[in-house]
Amino acid sequence: MKKHVKKVYSTLAIAMLAATAGAYIHMFTNLMQAGLLTVLGSLGMLALLSFTPHNSKNEGKRLAYLMGFAALTGMGLGPLLDMAIRIEPSIVPTALLGTFVIFGCFSISALLCDNRQWLYLGGFLMSGLSWMLMLTLMNIFFRSQLLFQVELYLGLALMCGFVLYDTQMVVEKRRRGDDDYIWHCVDLFIDMVNIFRRLLIILSSREDNKKKRSN
């Protein structure tokens, strides 16, 4: 079990490096920019990873698909990173540090919990996602700053819950014989990216409001 968890988190660390490389390509080179093609590309990589059987023969290929998905996901964060840097460059490292702290604390908490109580969060989290989607759709018409803030903070809370749930789900799947550490890494990677994205938006919004009040 410990060996499997170690492989999952080692792969997650490599995926985060790939995402960082993707963001760097968008921000500091002219090789490729975030857009519809990067979104479709990331979905394509995820689909290829999903449909490629998990075995020793395909391990390198599936790792390449994961790295491609991570890099394109990082590239997709480029416009948001550009906005945050324009407002205040220190927002990006602050959001990154906050992401690591939040993810690390909740993930370690889930790993240290032996009674698998966080697995029961699944239904609640899915219901929360449905409510969040409904708020997002409502706000397309109402353009309410209050609804936007509620959706933003609710989403952050849900992502923290998903870290607890997905971490224990990795352990539970391994107990049942599923040793696909690459696919297990995907859930945690998506959780981490979503936490980072929301922290970026929250910090950017606060800093922007602060500058507007000072002016």
pLDDT tens, position by position, 173-203:
888 888 899 999 999 999 999 999 999 999 9
Counting beta carbons within 10 angstroms of the beta carbon of residue 208, is it exposed (0 to 12), middle (13 to 18) or buried (19 or more)? middle
pLDDT band at 150 (very low <50, low <70, confident <90, very high): confident
Averaged pLDDT, 142-163: 86
Q: Tell me, what's the pLDDT at 215?
A: 65
- Which carries the bigger pLDDT value, residue 140 or residue 22? 22
Q: What's residue 165's pLDDT? A: 92
DSSP track, the chain: -HHHHHHHHHHHHHHHHHHHHHHHHHHH-SS---SHHHHHHHHHHHHHHHHS--SGGGHHHHHHHHHHHHHHHHHHTHHHHHHHHHH-TTHHHHHHHHHHHHHHHHHHHHHH-SS-GGGGHHHHHHHHHHHHHHHHHHHHHH--HHHHHHHHHHHHHHHHHHHHHHHHHHHHHHHTT---HHHHHHHHHHHHHHHHHHHHHHHHHHHHHHHHHH-
Task: Give the residue among 12, 41, 21, 52 at the shortest CA–CA distance from 185.
Answer: 12
Alpha carbon 59 to its chain centroid, in Å, reads: 23
Output the six-digit token pair for 121: 């969060």
Residue 178, Cβ density class (10 Å: 0-12 exposed, 13-18 middle, ≥19 buried) = middle
> What are the tens digits of pLDDT across the range 15-27?
999 999 999 999 8
1 CB-near residues (< 8 Å, 6+ apart) = 171, 174, 175
Q: How confident is the model at residue 8 (pLDDT cuts 50, 70, 90)?
A: very high
The closest alpha carbon to 199, from 101, 105, 110, 67, belongs to 101
Pick from 38, 36, 62: nearest CA to 48? 62
Q: What is the mean pLDDT of the chain?
A: 89
